[in-house]
């Protein structure tokens, strides 16, 4: 209706906008996948595409029409997601009351997150609450799992970690093995696991409130070839890049230098994947996560997981051979041929050679093939403070067929189906 109301101007805005988006995606692909003159050309195209669209709108005096279309489309999507969220509320992780630990042991990495342990006074605050603190050795590599096992042997009834995501999984595995509560202090750089637990990442000291007024969440723990993980396991392009020593010093430069070879170079190693009964072949990259991340509509790949107790791995496979497929991924997301998003209980990854690079919670490793990822459902008892920000509701993917059902009053909460005269009972819409 909006297109008809705005006439030819509305059609021109939509057509030019979609064309500009496709050309922009192609330019980004050329910039990432090639070097030299092609990379410079791709950068120019990526910059020129949106500029050209804006100039076209200005020349035809359509910028108000474009703004109206964008605003109306944004409102439509917001209302659609609100309707879908209300019709099917997102299940949340259920917390239960937890007793106060008597002999908690907290393992802290003073270097993590640029020194958050010292900056927020975590050692002093924890000791005031009766916890014993064990610090990483600043002069030598530290094995968090070994520290955790020693703490258990000495009678700890809770294990906690103040550090980055890479330090969490080894201690979480020990806690799950001995059925002990696990406390997360988000003292790392990104703290993805803490985000999905609903913790306050801006002030890690708030997580210590769980020692005196806490409740317990039962969450899943990932396992990749016998090694625990709390967030993700990456294969392919990203895993290859983080293996390089220079990556830590110059992330952007290393990525731009290596991507052309990894994406379109001769003899590029590809991986084959079996996710339950689904087979993916020749993938350039694969992400297996402890429970799936949010929506994969267009560029809207979620940055968090709505829940951590669903019992399934999230699987995201990428195979993009050229600029057209890159544009298809930008426009259609997981509905494109280049991006596959699914869930599975078991993921097996194989490739040529005896071993492949793997990034486990961001840590670079090499593992013998086949590499198998699974989940241990609800084995980890996470202690969290009662007073915490919580996990914000994620935006559901817009399913237009489902929206039509809602608009017509079908499939709403409390309506389980409609009567079909040819059957003896209700059938689901």
Higher pLDDT, 408 or 324: 408
Residues 18, 29, 291: CA angle, nearest 5 degrees = 85
Q: pLDDT tier at 225 (50, 70, 90 boundaries)? A: very high
Q: For residue range 411-421, what is the model confidence (pLDDT) as tens digits?
A: 555 544 444 43
202 CB-near residues (< 8 Å, 6+ apart): none
User: Which pLDDT score is estimated for 268?
Assistant: 65
Give dist(CA 307, CA 355) in Å, integer.
32
User: Which pLDDT score is estimated for 396?
Assistant: 72
Task: Name the least confident of 21-25, 165-169, 235-239, 338-342.
Answer: 235-239
Candidates 230, 240, 245; CA nearest to 144 is 230
Return phi, psi of residue 328, to 5°: -65, -40
Mean pLDDT of 219-223: 97
Question: Which of 185-199, 261-275, 371-385 has the largest mean confidence?
Answer: 371-385
Q: For residue range 43-52, what is the model confidence (pLDDT) as tens digits?
A: 999 999 999 9
- Burial letters 23-32, b for 16+ CB under 10 A, else e: bbbbbbbbbb
């Amino acid at each position: 209706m909006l297109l008809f109301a705005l006439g030819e101007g509305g059609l021109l805005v939509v057509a030019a906008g979609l064309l500009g988006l496709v050309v922009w995606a192609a330019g980004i692909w050329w910039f990432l996948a090639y070097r030299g003159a092609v990379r410079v050309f791709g950068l120019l195209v990526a910059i020129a595409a949106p500029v050209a669209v804006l100039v076209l709108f200005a020349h035809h005096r359509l910028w108000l029409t474009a703004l109206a279309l964008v605003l109306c489309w944004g409102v439509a999507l917001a209302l659609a997601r609100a309707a879908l969220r209300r019709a099917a509320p997102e299940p949340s992780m259920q917390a239960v009351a937890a007793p106060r630990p008597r002999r908690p042991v907290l393992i802290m990495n003073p270097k993590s997150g640029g020194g958050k342990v010292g900056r927020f006074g975590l050692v002093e605050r924890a000791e005031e609450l009766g916890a014993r603190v064990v610090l990483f050795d600043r002069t030598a590599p530290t094995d968090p799992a070994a520290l955790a096992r020693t703490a258990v042997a000495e009678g700890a009834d809770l294990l906690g970690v103040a550090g980055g995501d890479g330090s969490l999984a080894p201690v979480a595995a020990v806690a799950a093995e001995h059925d002990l509560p696990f406390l997360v202090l988000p003292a790392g750089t990104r703290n993805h696991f803490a985000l999905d637990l609903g913790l306050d990442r801006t002030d890690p000291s708030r997580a210590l409130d769980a020692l005196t007024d806490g409740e317990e969440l039962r969450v899943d723990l990932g396992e990749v070839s016998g090694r625990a993980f709390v967030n993700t396991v990456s294969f392919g392009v990203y895993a290859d890049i983080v293996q390089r020593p220079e990556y830590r010093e110059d992330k952007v430069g290393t990525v731009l230098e290596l991507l052309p070879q990894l994406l379109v170079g001769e003899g590029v190693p590809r991986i084959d994947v079996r996710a339950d009964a689904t087979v993916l072949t020749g993938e350039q990259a694969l992400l297996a996560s402890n429970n799936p991340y949010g929506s994969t509509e267009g560029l809207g790949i979620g940055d968090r997981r709505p829940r951590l107790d669903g019992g399934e791995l999230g699987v995201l496979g990428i195979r993009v051979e050229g600029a057209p497929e890159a544009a298809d991924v930008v426009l259609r997301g997981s509905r494109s041929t280049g991006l596959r998003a699914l869930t599975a209980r078991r993921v097996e990854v194989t490739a040529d050679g005896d071993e492949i690079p793997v990034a486990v919670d961001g840590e670079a490793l090499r593992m013998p093939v086949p590499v198998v990822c699974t989940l241990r459902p609800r084995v980890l008892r996470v202690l969290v403070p009662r007073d915490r920000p919580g996990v914000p509701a994620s935006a559901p993917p817009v399913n237009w067929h489902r929206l039509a059902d809602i608009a017509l009053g079908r499939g709403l909460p409390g309506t389980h189906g409609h009567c079909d005269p040819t059957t003896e009972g209700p059938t689901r819409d």
